[in-house]
Structure 1
Amino acid sequence: MELTWKASVERELERQGTRLEVLEYSASPMEAPLSGYHQPLSRPARWRQLAVHVGQGSAVLESGALQYLRGDLEMDTVSASGGGGGGLGGFLRGAVTAAATGEGMYKTAFKGRGVLYTEPTRLHLLLGELTGEDLIVDDGAFVACVGDITVGRHVNQGFAQMVGSGEGRVQPKLSGQGLFALQSPVPPEEFQVLDLRGDTLKVDGNLVVAYTGGLQFSVERSARGLLGSGKTGEGFVQAYRGTGRVWLAPTLPLHAGPLG
């Protein structure tokens, strides 16, 4: 049976002339069902695509995320050291800062007015807003941001403590004001956004997709068997202390399997 893919807006978020839309593609049969016959239909998994509406400020996409764009938008690849091509005349120079490892963290920067469309994915897209704080993002979760947001890097020394290394884990850091989109196997409805106020959160496993920069992060040893099986490492848990927000996905183990 032939199928056709139909798009609908799953969710959107708008702020001061910028907007993020999640388009969801679902498959429907092209032919009408035969009268009097039962036709079981196994529909393929849905796909999602992010539309980034740029009206003010600028936008940054993960390298390779762009499928096509419409409008008067200048594009440049910005390296971790802040250098890039000449197309933007120095716009966003330094917006993506150097990683401690010396390796490049390349993003694609845009300025002007128009709409950017990302490559379709089976992963879910989580939309959020920054109002002046920093956001530390898990590896591979960043998709795009728009507005007055700087994309930099955060060296997480907590993981260095865990493995006894002198080098920390480098993660993307978003700073400023605007909208952002992250990707995850977990639907947005299943995330818990925990508001910590002088509190402590300990997590067994890599269940946190992002947290605000005001929180102190560490990796701590726990008594064997105290918190499950120690999925962060043999006898280790991730600890977050202070005041801020944490995006936690407790159902992540239920969504195991390759997606993309």
Structure 2
Amino acid sequence: MEFTWTATTERELSAQGQKLEVLEYSAHPMEAPVQGYMQGLTRPSRWRQLAIHTTTGATLEAGALQYLRGNLEMQAVSASGSGGGLGGFLRGAVTAAATGEGMYKTALKGQGVVYTEPTRLHLLLGELRGESLIVDDGAFVACVGDISVGRHVNQGFAQMVGSGEGRVQPKLTGSGLFALQSPVPPEEFQLLELQNDVLKVDGNLVIAYTDSLQFSVERSSRGLIGSAKTGEGFIQAFRGTGRVWLCPTLPLHAGPLGAVTSL
């Protein structure tokens, strides 16, 4: 059976003249049902696409751009945080190769609408208010407004098991809107506001957190009999004041990000 794809606005978020819009594509049969017969129908999975309405520009994960409309100039910018020159470039390249974190993002300057490649993952929209957000690997899609995209070296688990290598993650700093991708629908996320509090998470359930929180990896009660070589028996701890994007239902979903490594 053939289908046509119809786009509707699933959700949107606006701030300071900028807007992020999530378009959801649903499949509809091209053939009319045959009267008097029972017909089983299996619809293809829905797809989602991010539309970025900007008056100043946007930053996208490398490879995320599908097309754009408007007076927008495009260039590749480094997100490695390393200094200029060949030495800094090589250091960044080695780090990116070792961690899987992309060195470059796509920067767009000007006014117009930018569309990302369709994905079966869900798109989570949020806003930064003059703060920094540390994002899990593979989750960053785009940001708009006065937000710079850098890198954060997370020592967490490496320090716990005695390794000197930290894991590099995207770090968004400033004010504006951002979009993350996840196999989990946004409705299932909990945005936790911590006020001089402690949050401990057993599992890979956090997709992002503000860097105002002190992050550490600690041994859980299971760690007394767990294996340090495999990472079993460790929990993530967040202390202080800030925000955490947490999804308790992540283990119930299968998808490309279902096996995201711990923050």
Q: Cα distance 1:10–1:229, how it changes in 2: closer, same or farther (>3 A)?
A: farther
Residue deviations 1:5-60, cap 9 Å, x none? 1100000001111110000000000122122222221111100000011113x210
2:40 maps to which residue? 40
Q: Which runs of 5+ in 1 are unaligned?
A: 85-97
Tell me, yes or no, if structure 1 residue 239 matches structure 2 residue 237. Answer: yes
Shift of 1:187: 0.3
- How many residues are paired up? 244
Structure 2 Cα separation of the partners of residues 210 and 164 of structure 1: 25
Match of 2:127 in 1: 129
TM-score after normalising by structure 1: 0.88
Aligned residue for 1:15? 15
Query: Displacement, 1:214?
Result: 0.4
Give the partner amino acid of 1:144.
A
Code of the residue aligned with 1:128 in structure 2: it is: G
Distance 1:203 1:11, change over 3 A: same
For 2:211 and 2:7, the matched residues in 1 are separated by 36
Which letter maps to 1:51? A
> Could you tell me which amino acid in structure 2 is paired with residue 148 of structure 1?
D
Match of 1:159, SS state, is helix
What is the percent sequence identity of the aligned residues?
Answer: 79
Q: In the TM superposition, what is the alpha-carbon distance from 1:105 to its structure 2 partner?
A: 1.5
More helix by share: 2
Aligned pairs (5 A) from 1:201-240: 201-224=199-222, 233-240=231-238
Aligned to 2:66: 67
Aligned pair in 2 of structure 1 residues 225, 215: CA closer, same or farther (>3 Å)? same
Q: Which runs of 4+ in 1 moved over 3 A?
A: 81-84, 98-104, 257-260
Matched, 1:166 2:160: no
Query: Cα offset for 1:229?
Result: 11
Say which SS state the counterpart of residue 160 (structure 2) adopts: helix
C-alpha RMSD over aligned residues: 2.4
Q: In structure 2, what is the equivalent of residue 195 of structure 1?
A: 193
**Counterpart of 2:187 in 1: which secondary structure?**
helix
Q: How many angstroms apart in 2 are the aligned matches of 1:182 and 1:145?
A: 9
| Segment drifting more, 25-34 vs 158-167 | 158-167
Per-residue deviation at 1:163? 2.9
Change (3 A) 1:191 1:15: same
The Cα shift of 1:259 comes to 7.1
Contact 1:122/1:259 (<8 A) preserved: no
Give the match's secondary structure for 2:143: strand
Structure 2 CA distance for aligned equivalents of residues 187 and 138 of structure 1: 16
Q: For structure 1, which segment, 102-111 or 234-243, has the greater mean C-alpha deviation from structure 2 after superposition? A: 102-111
- Secondary structure of the residue aligned to 2:222 is coil
- Classify the secondary structure of the residue corresponding to 1:126: strand
Matched, 1:50 2:50: yes
User: CA 1:46–1:210 in 2, change beyond 3 Å: closer, same or farther?
Assistant: same
1:30 corresponds in structure 2 to 30
